[in-house]
Chains A and B, each alone.
Chain A
């Protein structure tokens, strides 16, 4: 599925705001290229490794379960 060509209705973003918060919904509305620019800016400004655990996120770790 190419997300660049996917058009989602407003109700999708309204639902995201309900389950994830308005900031996450606003982020989802950005075009992919803009999201990637923001992510790169974040990577340049902050050194925040994902993995603070001995265990990978899919198996037990990640920042939520250090």
Chain B
């Protein structure tokens, strides 16, 4: 029987063999960095232009002897095609690499949330760099924020200036910011407007208060972002379910499932992008209400729409 970690590294090696650009992210990356103790699913960022090669790989392994069984999962997800994944949707697969063995959950991102286009980078082991994982972990789950801070400390230990983008503790943030040359500071400012306020706020508790507001902004904008994807997918799903003899996922081979999902997405209008501008605006409004700070303060702390919802 193959274990989840053996599968992870085997799948990684297959992607490399086929020239598919990827980075392993989220839970498995956090295990790699020592910041998470358990996970079973694997999350992969795949360059959207390489998705045809990934589909070809899956179809090949479905037909080989012994075959992999591959299926879309029943959860919220888009077809494994470029236009959806490049627009922020994710695809969710189950793979049984051996008969009778456990299923491996493989989640695939094309344009991961909060990660700027062109900035996906993996190390020699295939794991996403800590800076990238830290952007993805700015969710509204409490458990993710200590990981953001832990990744900042790892970046600090590696003497990488991106530590200043993710540090969640005021005193440590102030120290690393002051140690950076002005030219480097200037490259970081567009990504974290709070950095521009460090010298004007002399008290660490006040600075910590601003870091809390900043976190609230990321949380509310993320909630508004997924709310829109969730709404669009539910509407699509309801329309699709009205088909006669509807079933999902079907017990068919992955190739047939994929054709079925692509056709359904077109027929029942799964949009290739959810409304991001509205998500940013509403998220800022909600962060203002939740934090109780003046809207000018919240706006000054908020990263741009392009930074938060690239």
A and B from one complex: yes
Which residues of A does B touch, CB under 8 Å? 1-3, 6-9, 12, 15-16, 19-20, 23-24, 27-30, 32, 35-36, 38-40, 42-44, 47-51, 53-62, 64-65
A2, A47, A53: the one contacting B125 at CB < 8 Å is A2
Contact A1 to B90, CB < 8 A, known contacts A59-B229, A64-B143: no
Docked-complex contact A48 and B150, CB < 8 angstroms: no
| Interface residue from A12, A23, A40 paired with B157 (Cβ < 8 Å) | A12
The secondary structure that dominates the A interface is loop
A50 and B139 contact, CB distance less than 8 A: no
- A-contact bits for B229-243, CB 8 A (1 contact / 0 none): 110000000000000
> Which residue on chain A has the smallest CB distance to residue B223?
A60
Instruction: List 23 interface pairs A-B (beta carbons < 8 Å), by A numbering.
Output: A1-B154, A2-B123, A6-B157, A9-B157, A12-B153, A12-B154, A19-B149, A28-B150, A29-B34, A35-B31, A36-B31, A39-B5, A50-B39, A50-B41, A53-B75, A55-B76, A55-B226, A55-B230, A57-B27, A58-B90, A58-B136, A59-B229, A61-B75
A64 to B36, CA, bound (A): 15
Chain A residue with Cβ nearest B88: A59
> Closest chain B residue to A25 by CB distance?
B34
